[in-house]
Structure 1
């Protein structure tokens, strides 16, 4: 049995043509979906990358593992925590990863017989690098029972796709550097500007048209789509495509200026928490099935374990693959087989990086409670009717106070039940270290002689750029 689990970092579901987007960003992903199962309402319960992947490999949400923050020095995952690659390796699978999350936290390398670090001299990782490492490994181990984790970063900032991809998504004859455009001003004068100047804007210097950044994101999706086609054709060439369970997922999405978030992944709004999940396993799944109910990423671990138990491959010790105690995820197999249309009535959402907030997503409503808004302006409570307001533009918290209060009680009761007397790791983070990403901005500001309080009072691009020039003159 062969399993390939593929993380498509920062891939927003609604930007895929197979999820209803009007531009041809993902023709090959659409083809894979037509051959397998698409989950239309899949959610990242914990964002961003560190907490999302921890949940996927444990089958548990952040409140269960204690990992709720991204980039925090306070977090630690005990080695006693059940971990998917470790379980599979102990059962007899050859385990491998092409990934670089080990550089973020050590636990991401646990359980692998082969760990191929995809990082190069630059932070940005090209999907071709991932394929260049993965494809020879696949050929060498094609006759074994294996689990391979692949992590593609193409749709993460900075967006640097080949130029011929950009022209497919940006209006011909339009100048992204025309001084008459004003759509970038809000991004350039945002409190988070110092961070993105260094990690994004300086690499695509002088853009005045925000539509160009959106086009770069679309181009990155299309470039990634071509790399996935390359990988899939390799599976065919080495003769294992028909026996391989392929699972593709987004760890979180991306906001493209919505809610005052500029080409980044924070906020518990749909652009960031609604992610693609697509599976294909020829002969074991009905082709073209679309699951319409709520599911979430922590469902992947019990789904994989059940798939192995169903297949019962020779040489694998199934006694090592019982579901760990305390899982928050449920197997997706009832939805795959058509006996259910969801795994969850309610998805509970959480973030603690740029800002700290928790939320509730039901079929109809989204409720968000913000504890620390970081570099953003947020009300304490937000309530959206997703049936009438799918873009979450009208906050109904004051108009529907009883419903808002009901969701707030539900959220508090759920958090208390999950903690079961333990300290809330989000509150510990805020009290002992603050928001991890605000710290990054403070460090950048300090390097040019600006305090956080001074920046809050006057967050202008020109002011920061002038301080940078003066500091280096």
Structure 2
């Protein structure tokens, strides 16, 4: 049995053809979705990258593991914590990763016999071709073994720097991304978070004035990624292992493209960031063309993989060691795939603590968000959206439907208290001890430039910061 477990970093579900997008960003991924199962309402319970992947590999939400913040110096994951690669290696799988999360936290290398660090100097972020250059030869060498291979593609992440031939596929020919008369980038350039993005993103792309260009480059990066996924799948076919491979694609979080005052980044518990793609293919096991419309979440992937191995009982694998760990927040997706249930979860709970600190709950109709620290954004303390009537989350109904908001807040409180059971809240500890990690990054950049946070907050103008930097 082969399991290829693929993280598509920063991939927004609604930007894929198989999720309804009209532009040709994902022809090959769409094909894979048609050959297996697509989960229409899959959610990232915790964002962004560090906390999302911790939940995926543990099957438990951040509130339970204590890992709720990205880039925090306070977080630790005990080695006793159940961890998917460790469990599979212990059962007899050959485990490998092409990834760089180890540079964030040591626990991301746990359980892998082979850990191939994908950091590459050719681009600001890891290039999907680099991932394939490591992964494909490894697959060739180990194709006769029961294997678990984790691949982490970063192409959809900022800075958006697709190869030239992909740009023209999505940006209108003859349109000038540097037109000085175009002011559509002003809101992004004069945002409180600008110092961070100037250094890490904007300067690398150039003095763009057209916000449409950024959206187009995001699409171009997805198409570039799609071609790398095609190379991966074609290699499985050449090796003769496609039919025995459980192939799982998931987004760790999505990307906001100017919605809710978020400019090409992944914060906020809104649909562009928390609604992620989850697609699985296993020829002969998963019926082709299956679409699951119920709510699921990333932490469901661990029990789903364990159940798949137990059911397959591959030679040489000790399935008795793969019993489902206690206290999981995830549930196996196989009943949903087989059409045996219409409800894996009646609600999913959401959390972030990097740019902002907030928790939320999303059920079949409504989403409720409670913000504890808005960071460099302006947010009301509470938000309520009717996703049936307002899928773009443009109308906050907190005052119009107080009964719905109160019921969802009460349910969110019960969920938090039920998990903590008197233990300290890791989000509140982060805020009280160290603050929001990404605000700290902005403060460090400002300090280097001779500005304070309060000074910048009083007058956040791009020209002012650029002048100070010079």
- Under a length normalisation based on structure 1, what TM-score does the superposition of the two structures give? 0.99
- Where in structure 2 are the equivalents of 1:451-470 lying within 5 Å? 451-469=452-470
1:262: how far off?
0.1
SS of residue paired to 2:332: coil
Tell me what 1:414 maps to: 415
- Measured after TM superposition, the shift of residue 343 of structure 1 is 1.2
Query: What is the DSSP-based 3-state SS (H/G/I as helix, E as strand, rest coil) of the residue aligned with 1:340?
Result: coil
How far residue 171 of structure 1 moved from its aligned partner, in angstroms, is 1.1
Q: 1:342 to 1:25 in 2, by over 3 A?
A: farther
Q: Retained in 2: the 8 A contact 1:291–1:342? A: no
Supply the distance in 1 between the matched residues of 2:45 and 2:336 (Cα, whole angstroms).
19
Partner of 1:227: 228
Using the TM superposition, name which of 119-128 and 21-30 deviates more.
119-128
- 2:390 corresponds in structure 1 to 389
Q: Hey, what does 1:177 align to over in structure 2? A: 178
1:33-44 to 2 correspondence within 5 Å?
Answer: 33-44=33-44
Q: Deviations over 1:381-420 (max 9, x none)?
A: 0000001100000000011112211211111111011101
CA deviations over 1:99-118 (Å, ceiling 9, x no partner): 00000000000000000000
| 1:35-434 superposed matches below 5 A | 35-121=35-121, 123-434=124-435
Whether the 8 Å CA contact 2:120–2:127 is kept in 1: the answer is no
SS in structure 2 of the partner of residue 200 of structure 1: helix
Q: Find the aligned partners of 1:51 and 1:438 in 2 and give their Cα distance.
A: 17
Distance in 2, matches of 1:105 and 1:405, equals 38
The Cα shift of 1:318 comes to 0.8
Contact 1:292 1:342 survives alignment (8 Å): no
The DSSP-based 3-state class of the residue aligned with 1:148 is: strand
User: Aligned partners of 1:388 and 1:416: how far apart in 2?
Assistant: 31
What is the alpha-carbon distance in structure 1 between the residues aligned to residue 442 and residue 188 of structure 2? 15
Counterpart of 1:245 in 2: which secondary structure? strand
Instruction: Indicate the residue corresponding to 2:451 in structure 1.
Output: 450
Per-residue deviation, 1:319: 1.2
Q: Deviations over 1:147-175 (max 9, x none)?
A: 00000000000110011111111111111
- Superposed displacement of residue 289, structure 1: 0.2
Task: Report the alpha carbon displacement of residue 342 of structure 1 after superposing the two structures with TM.
Answer: 3.4
1:360-381, Cα deviation, whole Å (9 max, x unpaired):
0011001000000000000000
Q: Contact 2:120/2:130 (CA < 8 Å) preserved in 1? A: no
What is the rounded CA distance, in whole Å, between the counterparts of 1:310 and 1:411 in structure 2? 35
Runs of 4+ in 1 over 6 A off after TM superposition: none
CA distance in 2, matches of 1:92, 1:409: 45
**3-state DSSP of counterpart to 2:112:** coil
Query: What's the CA shift string for 1:46-81, capped at 9, x where partnerless?
Result: 000000000000000001101000000000000000
- Any idea what SS the aligned residue of 2:277 has? strand
Aligned partners of 2:448, 2:298: CA distance in 1, in Å?
39
Instruction: Kindly indicate whether the alpha-carbon contact (under 8 Å) linking 2:38 and 2:291 is maintained by their aligned counterparts in 1.
Output: yes
Task: Please report how far the alpha carbon of residue 123 of structure 1 lies from its aligned counterpart in structure 2 after TM superposition.
Answer: 4.2
Q: Deviations over 1:224-271 (max 9, x none)?
A: 000000010011111101110000000000000000000000000000
Mark the runs of 5 or more structure 1 residues left unpaired by the alignment.
Answer: none
Q: CA deviation at 1:340?
A: 1.6
Q: C-alpha distance in 2, partners of 1:369/1:156?
A: 27
